[in-house]
């Protein structure tokens, strides 16, 4: 089955700096890659996703890039703010193969004011 590795496990950045989280996946047929943000004591919520037919997607200060050849994808947060402090999870899925998301281990991001 699919295996998703996520790095780093913790990330501390200064407010205003950029943050980058990287994930690798094992199933070359995976074609959907969402990112979830989980604030302390809350549920995971989708912040951005990308499909395998697209190399990059942006939404204001966040962007995701996908390299299908290398089987890795990354989340980029620019101009970080204290409210970006949370745990971020990447996930991968092969549609029509059960439609089951496989999550990475999570990255705890701390934005220092």
Partner 1 sequence: DAGVIQSPRHEVTEMGQEVTLRCKPISGHDYLFWYRQTMMRGLELLIYFNNNVPIDDSGMPEDRFSAKMPNASFSTLKIQPSEPRDSAVYFCASRLSGFEEQFFGPGTRLTVL
Q: Which residues of 49-85 are buried (b: 16+ CB within 10 A; e: fewer)?
A: bbebeeeeeeeeebbbbbeeeeebbbbbbeebeeebb
Site membership for partner 1, residue 95 (CB under 8 A): yes
Of residues 78 and 102, the one with the C-beta less far from partner 1? 102
Of 10, 12, 26, 45, the residue at the interface with partner 1 (CB under 8 A) is 45
Alpha-carbon torsion 56, 91, 51, 26, what sign? Answer: positive
Mask 3-32, x = binds partner 1 (CB under 8 A)?
-----------------------------x
List the one residue from 49, 63, 68, 78 that touches partner 1 (CB under 8 A): 49
| CB neighbours of residue 112 within 10 Å | 11
Region binding partner 1 by CB under 8 A among candidate stretches 14-22, 40-48, 54-62, 76-84: 40-48
Q: Among residues 21, 4, 17, which one has the least CA distance to residue 86?
A: 21
Residues forming contacts to partner 1 in the complex (CB under 8 A) are 32, 34, 42-46, 49, 51, 89, 95-96, 98-103, 105-106
């Amino acid at each position: 089955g699919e295996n998703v590795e996520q790095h780093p496990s913790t990330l501390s950045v200064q407010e205003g700096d950029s943050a980058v989280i990287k994930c690798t996946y094992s199933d070359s047929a995976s074609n959907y890659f969402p990112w979830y943000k989980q604030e302390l004591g809350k549920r995971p919520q989708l912040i951005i996703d990308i499909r395998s037919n697209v190399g990059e997607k942006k939404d204001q200060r966040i962007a995701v890039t996908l390299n299908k050849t290398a089987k890795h994808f990354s989340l980029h947060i620019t101009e970080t703010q204290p409210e970006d402090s949370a745990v971020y999870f990447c996930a991968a899925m092969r549609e029509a193969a059960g439609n089951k998301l496989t999550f990475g281990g999570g990255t705890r991001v701390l934005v220092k004011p």
